[in-house]
Chains A and B, each alone.
Chain A
Amino acid sequence: MATAIAKAEDRVSVEHEYAARLGHVSKSFNGPAGPQLVLDDITLDVAPGEFVTLLGASGCGKSTLLNLVAGLDRPTAGSIETPGGRPALMFQEHALFPWLTAGKNIELALKLRGVPKGARRQEAERLLELVRLGGAFRKRVHELSGGMRQRVAMARALAQDSRLLLMDEPFAALDAITRDVLHDELTRIWRETNVSVLFVTHNVREAVRLAQRVVLLSSRPGRVAREWTVDIDQPRRIEDTAVAELSVEITEELRGEIRRHGQH
């Protein structure tokens, strides 16, 4: 088994120019009053190795959009391409299987990916080391803290060896201290593995803390309202002045979007 860094570099030569490409994606659901448009004409590229956060208030269809990219649901119109294979997906809940140990959860992901039996254990140990949980292989899910569970979930997502990692508010249920540490951790892992990340959140600071690019979605239906490129050196802190300043600007815009809904 090669290390994650070497693997990522191998792959660059055959890499597409994007990790995900969404072209004019729309999605509507059948509501009580006929079809309801949830996502409207979303066009978005995620470059290889890029970290993009999708930001929006309730009802902007962030989670719906991630489900579409993950292939769990089909768009009503438009196209979604993920050339790096089936994307990995992390949820707000850790979604680890409680009948398996932490290590076996990761091994299951490896098995479903087709990794031969003999190589699974070592690879699972390596991924646990990557999220700094070496030694937690035999731990049951209920024996781990919330932050540790999300790190195992991250290791399991990485075990899919996808070029695209989708994250659906993965840290929203954690306490502030743990969340802060996991931000650092995610940034480190993202830089080490060179994976592309599409990260959904309603937390402006979190979006700015993590991303290279912040995409603001409007609500009902979800449309791309505005984009910001975040030119702040990593590793950043959530308390950094530059992070705070950009957050203020984005929050103003977000509030404007929300206000529009109260006007009619």
Chain B
Amino acid sequence: MASTDTTTAGKGTDKADDLAGLEAGLDALDAVQVNRTPVREVLLHKVLPPLAAVALVLVAWQLLVWAEVTEDYKLPAPSAVWDSVSDMWLKGTLFEVIWTSVSRGLLGFLLALAIGTPLGLVVARVKFVRAAIGPILSGLQSLPSVAWVPPAVIWLGLNDKMMFAVILLGAVPSIANGLVSGVDQVPPLFLRAGRTLGATGLKGAWHIVMPAALPGYVAGLKQGWAFSWRSLMAAEIIASSPDLGLGLGQLLENGRNNADMPGVFLAIVLILIVGIAIDLLIFSPLERWVLRSRGLLVRS
């Protein structure tokens, strides 16, 4: 970019040309170089370590089984868990079970998003509302969402509505709080700059406050998803009924009832994998994109 400007400076006769050339030179000297990490390095530094950790856990597990530290109905071998997976795979129920929970979780999360976002904005911007419900909202975050399952069952019965209610009560405070802290951290300079440009009121909220608060908001979403997923699993484990369809939580509870330890292990592993996968596929890329586009992501 800068090098094209220097051709005009090459003539060097006019004073204006001289300034342009000087400036192009300064720009070229000062310009910040932004490089992207090559794929090989990503594989080596980001993918390999967690895979090695998982392998290590599997090896330790197998060693414990071989050492016969406890009866095999308490600690099944990794191969027994693997057999459970392939069994479910062959019966064609594996993805059905996962999808039942994931679709509930994501739908509940989207609902929480739709409620938590305006709520967070109002709490952040309206002093009275903030004083009134701000502390309650942050307090709710420390309340385990399992606590909501009994009242939700009584109020709404054993159905999907009750599951969504529990998810909302778990995730809405996280999302709203994330947005509130995001808004609180907007540098006052941006607000002043926005006001001089004419961005006041709703225009200011849309063009300045919301985008400036995005990093905090995304962090809130990430936490909101974790809370959604945890709440849903709690609800599925406690409230099982044939009408509800088989989700991962019920799979876990069924394993306990049938004294099927490989099934219990399988359910736990699947719950963990889904939680991590959604985070890796959706929220982490979103967060990285937001931070990188602002130059806030320092290469490690």
**In contact, A147 and B26 (Cβ under 8 angstroms):** yes
**In contact, B198 and A86 (Cβ under 8 angstroms):** yes
Alpha-carbon distance between A141 and B32 when the two chains are bound, in angstroms: 10
A98's partner among B20, B23, B30, B295 (CB-CB below 8 A) is B295
Alpha-carbon distance between A109 and B24 when the two chains are bound, in angstroms: 26
For residue A92, which residue of chain B has the nearest CB?
B189
B294 touches A (CB below 8 Å):
yes
Query: Contact mask A112-140 → B, CB, 8 Å, 1/0?
Result: 11000000000000000000100110001
**In contact, B27 and A89 (Cβ under 8 angstroms):** no
A89's partner among B196, B203, B211, B295 (CB-CB below 8 A) is B196
Neighbouring B residues of A220 by C-beta, 8 Å: none
For residue A101, which residue of chain B has the nearest CB?
B293
**In contact, A146 and B34 (Cβ under 8 angstroms):** no
**In contact, A235 and B32 (Cβ under 8 angstroms):** no
**In contact, A144 and B198 (Cβ under 8 angstroms):** no
**In contact, A145 and B27 (Cβ under 8 angstroms):** yes
B190 touches A (CB below 8 Å):
yes
Query: Contact mask B185-205 → A, CB, 8 Å, 1/0?
Result: 000011011011111000100
Stretch of A9-17, A19-27, A42-50, A178-186 that contacts chain B: A178-186
**In contact, A181 and B211 (Cβ under 8 angstroms):** no
**In contact, A160 and B294 (Cβ under 8 angstroms):** no
Neighbouring A residues of B19 by C-beta, 8 Å: 181, 184-185, 188
| 28 pairs, A vs B, C-beta closer than 8 Å | A71-B196, A72-B192, A87-B196, A89-B192, A89-B196, A91-B189, A93-B189, A95-B190, A97-B190, A97-B193, A99-B212, A108-B199, A112-B197, A112-B203, A112-B207, A132-B5, A135-B4, A136-B1, A140-B295, A141-B295, A142-B34, A145-B26, A160-B196, A160-B197, A181-B19, A181-B22, A181-B23, A184-B19
Secondary structure dominating the interface of B: helix
**In contact, A132 and B23 (Cβ under 8 angstroms):** yes
**In contact, A143 and B23 (Cβ under 8 angstroms):** no
B15 touches A (CB below 8 Å):
yes
B30's partner among A112, A147, A160 (CB-CB below 8 A) is A147
**Residues of chain B from 9 to 29 with CB closer than 8 A to chain A in the complex:** 15-16, 19-20, 22-24, 26-27
Alpha-carbon distance between A129 and B178 when the two chains are bound, in angstroms: 40
**In contact, B198 and A132 (Cβ under 8 angstroms):** no
**In contact, A143 and B32 (Cβ under 8 angstroms):** yes
| The 7 residue pairs across chains A and B that have the minimum distance between CB atoms | A142-B295, A145-B30, A95-B193, A98-B294, A112-B198, A89-B196, A135-B1
Alpha-carbon distance between A185 and B24 when the two chains are bound, in angstroms: 12
Alpha-carbon distance between A203 and B268 when the two chains are bound, in angstroms: 67
A177 touches B (CB below 8 Å):
yes
Query: Contact mask A62-99 → B, CB, 8 Å, 1/0?
Result: 00000000111000000000000011110101010111
B111 touches A (CB below 8 Å):
no
B31 touches A (CB below 8 Å):
yes
For residue B29, which residue of chain A has the nearest CB?
A145
**In contact, B198 and A143 (Cβ under 8 angstroms):** no
**In contact, A99 and B198 (Cβ under 8 angstroms):** no
B293's partner among A72, A113, A140 (CB-CB below 8 A) is A140
For residue B189, which residue of chain A has the nearest CB?
A95
Neighbouring B residues of A95 by C-beta, 8 Å: 189-190, 192-193
B270 touches A (CB below 8 Å):
no
